[in-house]
Amino acid sequence: MVFSRCIVAGGHGAEVSLLGPLCVTPIRQKSGIGSALVREGLAREKADGSSACVVLGDPGYYGRFGFEAGHRITPPYPLPAGWSAAWQGLSLQGADNVPDGQLEVPWPWRQEAYWSA
């Protein structure tokens, strides 16, 4: 599991976290390892001062941690049709501390192909 620290364009330097990828070996899936990793990771990101966390992933999975589609932070690149529900966010420091704007990602994520089908 990886959390990448990002900023939001127009967000006055507010730092947010991008979650992903998350992977658990198939023989260990459905045992709670992924959920434990996400919960611990979110707690650490909150403690480190990240104002929010965003993820591009399965709403059924990430929704259980409080992630919601339609977040105020928009993705760094246009997403394919039908993927809007997969772009989700979670406030870590209270909704008033989440900036509006487009996510600016670190260099490894600056390839539009990563954000499309």
Q: Round the average pLDDT of the chain to a whole number and report it.
A: 93
State the total domains in the chain. 1
Helix (H/G/I), strand (E/B), else coil: 107: helix
- How far apart CA 94 and CA 104 sit, in angstroms, is 21
Structural domain harbouring 89: 3-115
Q: What is the pLDDT of residue 64?
A: 97
At 11, the pLDDT band (50, 70, 90 cuts) reads confident
**What share of the chain has pLDDT > 70, as a percent?**
100
Count of CB atoms situated within 10 Å of the CB of 105: 20
pLDDT in tens, 27-78: 999 999 999 999 999 999 999 999 999 999 999 999 999 999 978 999 999 9
Amino acid at 30: K
Identify the CATH number of the domain in which residue 38 sits: 3.40.630.30
Amino acid 5: pLDDT: 96
89, with CB counted inside 10 A (0-12, 13-18, 19+), is buried
The angle formed by the CA atoms of residues 113, 1 and 112, to the nearest 5 degrees, is 10
Alpha helices in 1-117 (DSSP H): 33-47, 59-62
* 3-state secondary structure at position 71: coil
Contact 16, 48 (CB under 8 A): no
